[in-house]
Amino acid sequence: MNRYEFLKSMGLTGAALMAALTSCVHDDDSVVNALTISPVQSGTTTTPATSTTATTPTTSTTTATGNGTDLSAIKNRLLTVDLSSQAASELKKVGGYIAQSGIVVAQVSAGVYVAVTQTCSHEPKKQVIFNVSEFYCTAHGARFDLTGKGKNSFGSRGIAVYKVATDGLTLVVYS
Ligand code: FES
């Protein structure tokens, strides 16, 4: 097979064939590197020359990964909360809180969670809640700020604050 026959077999016709034949190759070249020649569609058929563009993968794998935070390395877990569960529905709004396993977790501002022990430091009563912008004991009125510092005499001993991490799907309280 000579170069003309080879190029014709590649589908080259007309001007494209002439351009390929007159390109910088020697007369005695009998083989043209087929990988450097883009097939040119001729005349009336105009199907796209590339077949690799239509099937790029979509991002479906990112839909269930939350914010990308890796919670797997967290040790000393005290509480794990599935944020999609009904029990955690209060945590979806700013100012909402839950009390589970002796821990109060509140969303204190958009996407910011703080966790403290549910047991008051005034007397060991498990009556601490989150109230608007602070932790509060319903027994005698002890008040604690978001760092656990007491805000009145009943709360003067402060309250234990725990670490919190979330990937947007799960929330982990740990020490
Ligand atoms: S037990 Fe909490 S304020 Fe007294």
Residue whose CA lies nearest to ligand 1 atom number 4? 140
Compute how many other C-beta atoms are within 10 angstroms of the C-beta atom of residue 126. Answer: 13
Give the residue-averaged pLDDT of 162-170: 96
Closest CA to 107 of 96, 99, 116: 96
Spacing, Cα 125 to ligand 1 middle (Å) = 6
pLDDT at 119 over 90: yes
Domain residue limits, the chain = 1-49, 71-174
CA–CA separation, 21 vs 109, rounded Å?
Answer: 71
Q: Which residue has the tokens 């100012």?
A: 95
Q: 10 pLDDT band (50/70/90 cuts)?
A: low
Which ranges of 22-172 does DSSP label H, i.e. alpha helix?
A: none
* CATH architecture classification, 71-174: 3-layer Sandwich (2.102)
Evaluate: CB of 8 within 6 angstroms of ligand 1: no
Question: CB within 8 A of 115, min separation 6: which ones?
Answer: 78, 79, 103, 104, 105, 106, 161, 162, 163, 164, 173
Q: 1 pLDDT band (50/70/90 cuts)?
A: low
**Higher-pLDDT residue of 35, 76:** 76
The model's pLDDT over 82-111, given as tens digits with 9 standing for 90+, comes to 999 999 999 999 999 999 999 999 999 999
Contact 143, 156 (CB under 8 A): no
The model's pLDDT over 17-38, given as tens digits with 9 standing for 90+, comes to 444 444 444 444 444 444 444 4
Nearest atom within ligand 1 for CA of residue 142? 3
CA–CA separation, 158 vs 117, rounded Å?
Answer: 11
Closest CA to 99 of 124, 119, 73, 69: 119
Evaluate: CB of 143 within 6 angstroms of ligand 1: no
Compute how many other C-beta atoms are within 10 angstroms of the C-beta atom of residue 75. Answer: 6
| Average pLDDT over the chain, rounded to an integer | 78
Closest CA to 104 of 142, 67, 74, 66: 142
Query: What single-letter DSSP state applies at residue 92?
Result: G
**Higher-pLDDT residue of 174, 4:** 174
| pLDDT of amino acid 9 | 57
Give the residue-averaged pLDDT of 27-55: 43
